[in-house]
A and B are shown apart, each in its own frame.
Chain A
Amino acid sequence: MHTRYMRILKFDELELASRRAFFCVSDADLQRLAGLRPFAERHTKEVVDAFYELLLGHPETAKFFPDELAVKHVKKLQSEYFLQLFEGRCDLQYVENRLRVGAAHERIGLSPQWYLGAYRRYLEVLRGCLFADYGPAEAVAHLESITRLVFFDMSVAIDTYIAANVDTIGRHQLAIRELSTPVIRVHERILLMPLVGTIDSMRANQIMDTLLLRVVEEQARHVIVDIAGVPVVDTKVADSLIKTTAAVRMLGTQVIVTGISAPIARTLVQLGVDVSTMHTRARLQEGIELALEMSGKTIVDRARVGS
């Protein structure tokens, strides 16, 4: 998931460099952090314990850690995460690691507000440790380097949530698109595309492309486009209908337009649409019958034939 997020976020060397510059994460900072490694190892337990004290003290976050075992597990992960701050690196591998953790939190539904609050706690505890171990000037300098990388981490964490949302929206859009342009095979080499709802220019394009692909896929001889479910047929809709009909014809397939109500018929004529070359029917059933008839088939009422 996190590699996909890297892609969605376009997190490459260029992005990394510009973000590091913005958060002032310099090589000197990274060197300093690497030098603080022994300090960090000394205080890992203290920092991580304080961190989970906060999380377990609030019902909204405590619910993510149901038992002792779960807490023990996340504490171990958190210790690793914490120590990674002091490895003296901030490259793509580092970002990928951060995204992986962010993605895990996003997946379990831990929202960014708790994430950010927890980071504050991190810095608070670290400040205490730094001032206890070092002189004030040194402690301030160390804290500054830590703050830079922690804020960098926060930006990556927020990005994870954004990437997850972008990903979800993308998948929904795809689903909506497929739902809005269904193509049904009603009989051998006869397709039906029932259009429902408003048709804007983007959807008109999708309708044409989808239909053309399906016609070739199915080698359909006839296509019925039913527009009974389209509330308003204006110039644009009529135009897209004619274009779609023309394009399908160029593949070698005939289009039958059905669902033409009295108001739609009136509109089409008033708009000056040339309907002489179009096969049209008022009702879908008649369209299907016409398609069958053109393919040399008929629907027979057996009761009547028998009598």
Chain B
Amino acid sequence: MIRVQARIEQSTLMKIASPLLAIFLTLIFGSVLFSAIGKDPLQAMQVLLIAPLSDMYNIGEMFVKMGPLLLCAVGLSLCYRANLWNIGAEGQLLMGALGGSTAALAFIDSSSVLALPITLICGVVSGMLWAAIPTYLKLKFNSNLILTTIMFNYIALYLLLWAVHGPLRDPEGYGFPESALFSDITTLPILFDEGRIHLGVIFAIFAAIGAWVLLNKSHIGFQIRVFGEDEPAARYAGFNGKKISWIVMLFAGALAGLAGVAEVTGPIGQLIPSVSPGYGYSAIIVAYLGRLHPLGALLSATFMAVLYMGGDLAQIEIGVPTAVVGMFQGVLLFFLLACDFFIRYRVSFITNNNPIQE
């Protein structure tokens, strides 16, 4: 018989052992899966997990992929720590891209050094505004933040589609829904000669460190944590819940907006209908994988970026179909989150066969 008991304190041993256990279980599952479709499991896993880091180009691309995931996940981690269920990073990111693109297109013939900073600020502010509306609705009318932020994702997407099919469409683009390419003046500088690592990646890493300092070394951060863990205690201590909600939500909106504007002024270089392949949603997984810790998000965003890239490489190098790659990635994430169960719970096997008498 198996007995599950809640632990009084979280197990330190399991905090380290649970990811290892998850990886071990995934390797077993992966071996079975790849053998079943006639691929060499060792080679498959080498391509999926190691090849994305095998040369400078791929490492650079890993950072490019990590940037938007990290920016969104850091903001979400803070929200979730404060018990604010913000699902709206995707919409905030899209609005950041839209706001930034509007500015970048206005500067298309400009040579001002202020063009790029203004473009970035427009993106950040657009993301903040998009986070502000659901926050206001929650604080004023007690609306459900999960629902409003999800709905705002759709509104943002359709606003972006409208803009890219209408006012921001490239007049010389044969009617295709794309903006003109931004001029160099509003394109984020590339950090190395080779590859696409841009300034946005540095912003993302600084954001993670900054959020960690905010959360762990500041009085505001202390208030955020208390609110998340014990709201009555926080109120008893006289902390201002509204203020905390505003700070955390606007911070998350700003970071997601930055992610959006950094995508369009960075690797993409124009506004297109598919700015984000769902970064705002993936960032929810990233935040939880990082255990809602800003520096944890740094690790988990890197890990997710590697997984995504490995999926493409597996198709190129060994012809694994995308559905199988998706299964492998899904199972890996499932094991990682499921093994965290053992941090909070103790599982014991009872050997004697005495059923409990009623």
- A and B associate in one complex: no
- A residues with CB within 8 A of B: none
